[in-house]
């Protein structure tokens, strides 16, 4: 089914190629409204939009998705980024009067060591409290997951000595509707310095769904009125996303913006590219100069990257949409019954348990 949006820029139908959004029926459980709060830096706005549109489109099948784009205020942006948000996004304040079935909130590189000091913290927590009561489920991605946990339970993230960057093998820990049909072991991209201790999560009642042996907890859920789904990894990443992040970080080192040469993403590049990048790293750390970035870019341009996580990402997001549809169907059924039943008769309120 086509994904349609309030902005014609984002309309997409993978089967017909049509740019005409179909009507989305509010009373149908197979038509869901998803909001995306895109907090990514200016240079990643387009890519993040494309990643989530493509992933949702791939899993929609018989489900029609109405997608809306929103932005937090006070996120630092360039003039170009500000204009992009102004032209194609709605403010989060528009959510208060909006009916959403699901919500996806992205992270971004932090500016402050304490997330509560981020300039958008107040608006972020306002969205979180709204999402608890007004969505069937919300996905919190990477830094957004860390910020949500800090607000809800006071759980602090812990910084690692090395960045978790690359493709990590994850294990499915238990049978859960969100991981139905997922393999017992699968790959997912990670790109973060910080992580959440597993014991802190379990002590607060979170259910751990997947774990990477070398990167810790990967996916976990918490139950409010809305099902909160937390990803420390990035199932939505495209094949070249880690490549672009690596090139960005190498550029920062060569320009003297950081004194740490970035780790090469693990289990990601082909062998020939790894050898070429290691040679360039040795040259850069012995004598940093900006013109080496062209050589790094050339080596990256010849790389061969296999997307080994796509099928798992499709499985998890399809299960997420199915959950939302099931919850919406129960709500619609409940409303229908409430219109038919005698006023003095008490009916049980049925919900799926996650």
Give the residue numbers marked as catalytic. Answer: 142, 234, 236
Cβ atoms 173, 211 nearer than 8 A: yes
How is 285-296 classified by DSSP, letter by letter?
HHS--TTHHHHH
Residue with tokens 């996303």: 241
Q: What is the 3-state secondary structure (H, E, C) of 197-231?
A: CHHHHHHCCCEEEEEECCCEEEEEEEECCCEEEEE
Residue 295's CB is within 10 A of a number of other CB atoms, namely 15
Is 77 annotated as ligand-binding? no
- At 36 the three-state DSSP class reads strand
| Helices and strands counted in the chain (H then E) | 9, 11
Cβ atoms 173, 198 nearer than 8 A: no
Question: How far apart (Å, rounded) are the C-alpha atoms in residues 116 and 329?
Answer: 37
Cβ atoms 138, 105 nearer than 8 A: yes
Tokens of 270: 């082909």
Residue with tokens 């602090």: 156
Is 191 annotated as ligand-binding? yes
E-strand ranges in the chain read 3-5, 31-37, 64-71, 90-91, 102-105, 137-141, 158-172, 185-195, 207-212, 216-223, 227-231
Is 248 annotated as ligand-binding? yes
- At 122 the three-state DSSP class reads helix
Binding residues: 163, 191, 248
Residue positions in the annotated binding site for substrate? Answer: 163, 191, 248
């Amino acid at each position: 089914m086509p994904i349609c949006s309030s902005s014609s820029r984002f309309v997409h139908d993978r089967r017909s190629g049509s740019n005409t959004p179909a009507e989305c029926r509010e009373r149908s459980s197979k038509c869901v409204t998803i909001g995306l709060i895109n907090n990514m830096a200016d240079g990643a706005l387009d890519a993040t939009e494309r990643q989530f549109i493509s992933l949702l489109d791939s899993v929609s099948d018989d489900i029609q998705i109405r997608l809306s784009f929103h932005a937090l205020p006070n996120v630092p942006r360039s003039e170009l980024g500000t204009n992009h948000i102004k032209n194609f996004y709605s403010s989060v304040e528009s959510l208060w009067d909006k009916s959403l079935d699901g919500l996806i909130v992205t992270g971004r590189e932090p500016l402050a060591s304490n997330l509560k000091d981020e300039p958008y913290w107040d608006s972020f927590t306002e969205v979180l409290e709204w999402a608890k009561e007004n969505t069937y489920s919300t996905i919190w991605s990477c830094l957004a997951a860390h910020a949500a946990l800090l607000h809800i339970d006071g759980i602090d993230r812990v910084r690692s000595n090395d960045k978790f960057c690359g493709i990590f093998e994850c294990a499915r820990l238990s049978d859960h509707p969100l991981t139905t049909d997922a393999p017992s072991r699968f790959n997912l991209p990670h790109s973060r310095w910080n992580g959440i201790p597993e014991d802190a999560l379990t002590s607060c009642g979170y259910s751990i769904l997947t774990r990477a042996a070398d990167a810790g907890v990967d996916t976990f859920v918490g139950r409010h009125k809305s099902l909160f789904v937390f990803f420390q990894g990035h199932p939505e990443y495209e094949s070249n996303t880690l490549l672009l992040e690596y090139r960005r970080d190498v550029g920062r080192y060569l320009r003297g913006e950081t004194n740490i040469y970035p780790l090469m993403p693990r289990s990601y590049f082909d062998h020939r590219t790894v050898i070429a990048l290691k040679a360039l790293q040795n040259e850069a750390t012995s004598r940093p100069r900006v013109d080496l970035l062209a050589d790094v870019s050339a080596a990256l341009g010849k790389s061969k990257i296999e997307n080994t996580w796509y099928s798992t990402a499709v499985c998890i997001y399809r299960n997420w949409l199915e959950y939302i549809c099931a919850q919406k169907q129960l709500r619609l059924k409940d409303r229908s019954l409430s219109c038919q039943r005698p006023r003095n008769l008490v009916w049980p309120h049925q919900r799926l348990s996650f």
